[in-house]
Every structure is written in structure tokens, then in C-alpha cells.
Structure 1
Amino acid sequence: MNLTKVFDESELSLEVVILMIAGLILLITGILLFPVATGGLSYYENGLYGLLLVMFSLQIISMGKTPFGDLKRSKLVLLAGLVVGGIGTITCFVPDAFSDIPRFMLFLFFGPGGALLLLQMILSKDKLKAWFEYGGIFKHLIAGCTVAYVSSILISILLWNQSLLSVQMTAIFVLIYGAAIAYLSFVLRKIYSSYPQEQKRKDGEVELPIDRAMILFTSVFMIILGVLLIPVNLGLLPFSGSAQLGLLMMIFAIQMIASGSTPIGVFPRSLPVILIGFVFAALGTVSCIIPEVLVYPLTVLVGVLNILGGAISIGKFLGQRASSTDQQKGKIPKILVKLNVSQLILNVLAIAFGLSMLISHLLPGLVIGVVLAANGVVLLYLLHILLVIDRIQKEMETR
């Protein structure tokens, strides 16, 4: 085996990444349901529901892929994705916050959504008929989509009537669905590597690259988390710290696998980075579904990563400032000054959050909530600055 190839950049579209992680979530859930059925493990149902809603949200925000079909990423579609993500986040954090609403949403997404996607595949001239004509890997796409859509419909029936099957039989169906999603992700990866034009952005969509979409979602996530911690610390709401850590790990995982962005810096999307991302996703899934089992190790891990990430970024900034001349410092455009200031604030907030996780009672719970909410607000401001810079660069290229 050529070791240099192990560290080569890997080409994985965000769609493939999300499907791979969704398949992993379902496979882990199916496996965990067996000891849950025997009473060997406790089970936090809302953690799973919230996590699945978050995955649907990321698909909608980043690609315009809804549970009912593909749409242009208009502002309305982005808003709908954020609402789904917000409901999923709160569902994870606050037990029974929305009663049966998350389960009903997932029923709609898996049931009518799966049936509609199956019909679209059968009736669309660009899908089933064309795929048969193409042959080869596209026959695997037909098989993968069919099994995934049918499994989705069956899962929706189990969501509607949870007493229909035993927990063990439900686990088997979840495993089949997870395997189908994972298989489909590998088929799509092969197709996208051979036919990259299949991933082209639709005309009229909101221009929001993958990294920007993740910033948008993370900012909303942080604001919700920060705001919720205020009534939680006042004793007004129950809270699942385990699911909070699980979702944080899942966000880390998606960023790592999709763009190589890790908590301590950006790296090429090599095989080691991708594998670490999947480990993070697996840990996040377990933490969301099985309460308390990973709280201590993930608290330490998230705390250390936040401190290291913030400290490394500040160190790089100070190093660049020290090596630049006075003339270079004076020529920095205002928009870049704003970018640097917002990044510095984020790094300081990350260090403060990391320290609060490692040192108990370092900051009052209410202050931690304010820190996280402020982190989300600054992230939104950073996103605004990045979009302005993108627009300026595009204008310069068209001159």
C-alpha cells in the first residue's frame, strides 16, 4: 500500500457525507437497540429523533434536498431547514419539549416523503428509465434507492405504531435501513467521481458553499444552546447534557469529513481525517441515544479541542502580525479587519467555553449560556463578513 495516497485529498460531496453519517447513525442505533431491549442500556428516544431531524436540516440547508424531493435553495427553503434544525436541536436538549411533534415530523419525512421519492424515481424520465439505459453502476443506484425508500416507508409505520413490532424486530428493520443508506452513499460516491457534472448547482439557488452552510447551522445551534442554558440553570427546564455533547461531536464530524475543518484547524480531507470524523460521528450518536455513558470523556475531549483550537488560531494571528511590516499593517482593508476581530472574539469565546467544561464552576451556568449565545451571534456576523468578501471577489473577477 502506498502510504502517500493515504494522505491524499479525498473527494466526497456533502450529499455523500451526510448519507454516510446517516447510515452510520442508523446502524449504531440498530445495534444499540438489542441491549436496550434486554434492559442492558437506557435509551433516550428524543436524542435519536432530534439527531435525525438535524441531519434532515443539514441536507435542506446545504443542498436543498428535502424529504419530499429536491428544491432550489431559496431563502424560504433555507428558513425551513433552519426551523427543522432548531426543532431537532431543542428536541435533543430538552426532554419532551415538543411532545409527539418530532415523531410526527419524522413520520412525514420517512413515510409520505419516502413514498413520494419512490414515485419520483419511477415516473421521472431522468431517473429510473435513464438509469436502466446507462447500466453499470446505475443499476446499483436503482437497487440502493429502492431499498432505501421502501425501508423508509416501513420505518414510518413503526414510528406511527411503536408497539407494532418488538424492539428486537424494530432493530433489524433499522439495521436494514442503515445498510441501505450506507450502500447508497457508496454508490453515489462512485457516480459523482465518474460524472462530476451530476453535482452542479441549480440556477437561481442561494449561493451558500458547504463551509458557509455549516457556519450558518452552527451559529443557530450555538444560539439555541446558549439561550436554553439560561432557563436550565434557573431550574425551569430539564436538560440532556449527553445529547448536547453528542450534537457537538456530530457537528465536528460533518465539518471534518465534508471540508477538512477540524476544531484545531483546517487539514486536507485525507483518509485519517475522514476516519477520525467518522469516529466523532459514532461517539456523537451514542452520546445522543444512550444517556450519560460518554459524558465525562466527551466533556474532556470537547473542552480540550475548544481550548486548543482557540489558542492555536490566536497564536497564528499573533505570529502573522509580528512578521508583517508596519506598511503592510496599514494597508489592511476594513472588511479584513472586521474578519480578524470577529475571529479573535470567537477564539476567546472558544477558550472560555473549553475551560468551563474542564474546570467545574469556573463560570456560572448563566454566564456559560451567554458565552455560547454570543458565540452564535459572532458566528452569524462572521458569516455576513465572509459573504461580503465572496461578493467583492466575484465582482473583481468579472471586471
Structure 2
Amino acid sequence: MTDETAQAPARTDEFDFTLESVILLVLGIFMGLFGLLLFPITTGALPYAPDSTYGLFLVIVALQVITMGKTPLGDLRRTWLVIIIGIAAGITGMLACFIPGLLSNIVRILVGAILMLGGAVLLLQLFLHKEKAALWFSVPGILRHLTVACALVYLMAFLLGLVTLIPSFTTDLLTAVLLIIDGAALIYLAWCIDVVGKEFPEQPGPAGENQEKAGQVFLVREVSFPFTTALLIFLGVLLALLAILLVPVNLGILPFSPDGQLGLLLVIMAVQILAMGETPLGPFRRSWLIVTIGLAFVAMGVYSCIVPGVLTDLLRVLLGLLNLIGSLVLLAGRVIPMVLQMRDAPAQPVALPAPLRNLLVTQTALNIIGILFGTSMLLPGLIPGMVTATILFFNGLLLFLLAYILGTLPAAE
């Protein structure tokens, strides 16, 4: 988002949640839907996949850490150390989503510890820090709402962490109620943060405040790349890891959860849609239609991770079509103008700068791989499993390359 966009007046016909509010909204949908589904799961009416459920939660938390430096224990500077920790948490969540039974106890304990410790620490900070609850509650309006929302979210996180670590502490029905309350509180908090951001816009710090200090150790240097670059790195890690895991899966050495894979991919795609309007068919204005589609994708992805075997074929076809059609549309939109320009070009065409040329080649290669990946999902068995793993691995490498190239381009004015 450019500075001009950030300073523009709010529009009632467009969704303008910030990235922080979007991720809280996604977490709220995850918790609320999990709570609602726990009722039929408890009675045995629906199956349940705890590994991919915990794994998806870790991935969403990792997205917060990598893109904003916001951790379960509070806000930190987005240094390379913080990003590496976020990527490690994301990889753990991905492994739990993809390979059932591999990290069952580890992810349950990790999620429980994150919720309980994070909730306790943030709740104490809220009421002990002189610039938080006491000050906010003294100001009528949205800051009082923010105080209530934060207190609810932190308290629910602590209780849910305790229940996750000690399942016998309460009943499944009470856990479901806590999840629903937490989901509503997270959505409430997302709204509060959005309103606070508009009423009390953050002032930029002094020039040079975030610049790297000479001689500073690499791991504690602050990272300033934007959300798009952070998400490309995260997706690159996801696809490269998936490709590596598909080798022992195709050899029959490891089990595999297609529901966890498809649900995770759909939720990450939904975050892109809600945060930037970025879809497989290209960028769109964040109209309420686009946002509704993004929210539907979140719900379907979360459902697939929690309840296996119900949406498998639907999501496989949906993601296959989105990859195939989106890649074809973007490729055609890039190639056809080039062909027309070459036909009408002067005798000595102007050469593109190297970064733009590299960007064009990388995007074209990603579109071709997207077509192959979409085809493999729509027609299972047409492309051998090992070839699909190779396609995904190169897709991950190309996303790393794209993130690097975008970092070399001049910033938009």
C-alpha cells in the first residue's frame, strides 16, 4: 500500500482492513468455526484431524511473526532472528498439516504453550502497563472497546492454552464455547484495531530510525521488506517443503493429508485476497464481493483442515481451476501484448533493464508451472507424483527468486 493510499479517506464501498486486522479476522474465523464444529465432532457425527488443526493455527501465527514481527508474547522488532523463528514455527505447522501423526504431541504442546503463556503475558502487560488499559479506558469511545477486546482475547487464549495442555481440565462442550467466544473476541479486536488505526494514525518515526546500524550482528538487524516479499518467502518455503515431503509420500514411506495441504493453501490464498486484493486471476480492488470470496475461502480452508474427507475433491478442483485459469490469463495478458508490440516494433527495439527483464522471465516461468500444477490437480495421475514434486520444488525456488527481484526494483512513488 502506497503512502497516498494510506492517507486517502476511508471508502464505504471498499474493505480497507490492515494486514494485522486481516490476520486477526482469519484467526477469529478459525477459532469460531472450530468451536461450532466441535459439537458434531464430539458426538462422532464428523471426523476430526487434530494435527492439521494445530498446524494451521501455527501457520497463521507464523504469518503474523514473519510479516509484522507480532508474536504471541507481544510486538518485537522484525529482525532476521524473529523471521527465522517465524519460519521455523511455520514449517512445524506445515509438517503437521501435511503428515498426520508425525508431530502430534509436539504441535499440541507447542500450541497450548503459545496460547497459555502468550495470553498470560499479554494480559499482565495490558493491566500493568501504564500506557495501556488504564489510559485507554479513561478515553471514551473506541479505546474502551479496544481494552475490552484485548482483555477478552488474552483471557480466552490463556484458558484455551490450559485446556490444550491439559485436555481433562474441562469438557469438550465447554471448550467449544470458549472457542466460539474467542472467535468473536478476535473479530471484535480486528474491528477495534482497524478503527483505532483510522482515528489515531501512527506517526512516522525520525528519518533513519530503522536503518541498519554499522557492525550490527546479522540476526538482530531489522528487516524492512514489505508484506508481498515476506509472503513470497513464506510460500516458497511451503512449496519447497511440500515438494520434498512428496518424495517419501510417493514412495509409500510417509502418510499424507490432502485435506491439510489443500486447506492450508486455500487459507494462505485467502489472506492474500483479504490483505491486498491479490487473487490467482490478478489484483483486484478489495470490493465487498472480493472480500466475501476471501472469507468463503478462509472458511473452506479451515473446515478442510479440521474435518478431513468432506471437501477434498471440491477444494482440489477449485485450486486446480484457479491455478490453471489464473496462470493462463496472466500469461496471455503478458505474452499477447509483447507479440503485438514485436509485430509493430521499430527496427531497433528498446531493451528492458535487467531487473525488469528478470521479473518478466520469472513471472512467465511461474505461470507455466502454475498451468502444470493446476493440470496435475484437475487430472490426478496424468502427471507422475515425482514430476509433481519437481514442479512444486521449482515453484518454490522461483518464488524465492521473485522475492529477491522485487527487492531490487526501485520503490514505487
Q: Which ranges of structure 2 fall in alignment gaps of 5 or more residues?
A: 1-9, 212-221
- Shift, 1:134, TM fit: 2.6
- Shift, 1:43, TM fit: 0.2
Q: Look up the match of 2:267.
A: 250
Distance 1:328 1:63 in 2: 46
Query: Is 1:203 paired with 2:220?
Result: no
- Shift, 1:393, TM fit: 4.0
1:192 to 191, 197, 207: 197
Distance 2:348 2:166 in 1: 66
1:218 to 235, 244, 250: 235
Q: Name the aligned partner's letter for residue 175 of structure 1.
A: I
* Secondary structure, counterpart of 1:317 in structure 2: helix
Q: Name the aligned partner's letter for residue 159 of structure 1.
A: T
Q: Name the aligned partner's letter for residue 225 of structure 1.
A: L
- Shift, 1:98, TM fit: 1.8
Distance 2:205 2:375 in 1: 43
State whether residues 51 and 104 of structure 2, in contact with CA within 8 Å, keep that contact through their aligned partners in structure 1.
no
Distance 1:381 1:310 in 2: 18
Distance 1:198 1:117 in 2: 24
Distance 1:143 1:295 in 2: 39
State whether residues 66 and 78 of structure 2, in contact with CA within 8 Å, keep that contact through their aligned partners in structure 1.
yes
Deviates more, 1:237-246 or 1:183-192: 183-192
* Secondary structure, counterpart of 1:126 in structure 2: coil
Distance 1:211 1:125 in 2: 35
Q: Look up the match of 1:60.
A: 65
Q: Look up the match of 1:380.
A: 400
Q: Alpha-carbon deviations, 1:291-318, whole Å to 9, x = none?
A: 1100111111000000011101110111
Q: Look up the match of 1:105.
A: 110
* Cα 1:356/1:326, change in 2 over 3 Å: farther
* Secondary structure, counterpart of 1:163 in structure 2: helix
* Cα 1:143/1:315, change in 2 over 3 Å: same
Deviates more, 1:271-280 or 1:6-15: 6-15
State whether residues 6 and 270 of structure 1, in contact with CA within 8 Å, keep that contact through their aligned partners in structure 2.
no
* Cα 1:78/1:129, change in 2 over 3 Å: same
Deviates more, 1:299-308 or 1:100-109: 100-109
2:367 to 330, 340, 347: 347
State whether residues 6 and 272 of structure 1, in contact with CA within 8 Å, keep that contact through their aligned partners in structure 2.
no
Query: Is 1:228 paired with 2:233?
Result: no
State whether residues 132 and 138 of structure 1, in contact with CA within 8 Å, keep that contact through their aligned partners in structure 2.
yes
Q: Name the aligned partner's letter for residue 222 of structure 1.
A: L
* Secondary structure, counterpart of 2:131 in structure 1: helix
Distance 1:227 1:199 in 2: 43
* Secondary structure, counterpart of 1:235 in structure 2: coil
> Between the two proteins, what is the percent identity of the paired residues?
39
* TM-score in terms of structure 2 length: 0.90
* Secondary structure, counterpart of 2:392 in structure 1: helix
Q: Which ranges of structure 1 fall in alignment gaps of 5 or more residues?
A: none
State whether residues 303 and 354 of structure 1, in contact with CA within 8 Å, keep that contact through their aligned partners in structure 2.
yes
Deviating 4+ runs (over 6 angstroms)? 198-202
Distance 1:340 1:112 in 2: 46
Distance 2:172 2:124 in 1: 30
- Shift, 1:120, TM fit: 1.4
Q: How many residues align?
A: 389
Distance 1:269 1:383 in 2: 23
* Cα 1:59/1:314, change in 2 over 3 Å: same
- Shift, 1:113, TM fit: 1.1
Q: Alpha-carbon deviations, 1:189-233, whole Å to 9, x = none?
A: 111122221798983531121222211111111111111111100
State whether residues 257 and 269 of structure 1, in contact with CA within 8 Å, keep that contact through their aligned partners in structure 2.
yes
Query: Is 1:50 paired with 2:67?
Result: no
Q: Name the aligned partner's letter for residue 406 of structure 2.
A: L
* Secondary structure, counterpart of 1:377 in structure 2: helix
Q: How does 1:76-91 map to 2 (within 5 A)?
A: 76-91=81-96
State whether residues 49 and 106 of structure 1, in contact with CA within 8 Å, keep that contact through their aligned partners in structure 2.
yes
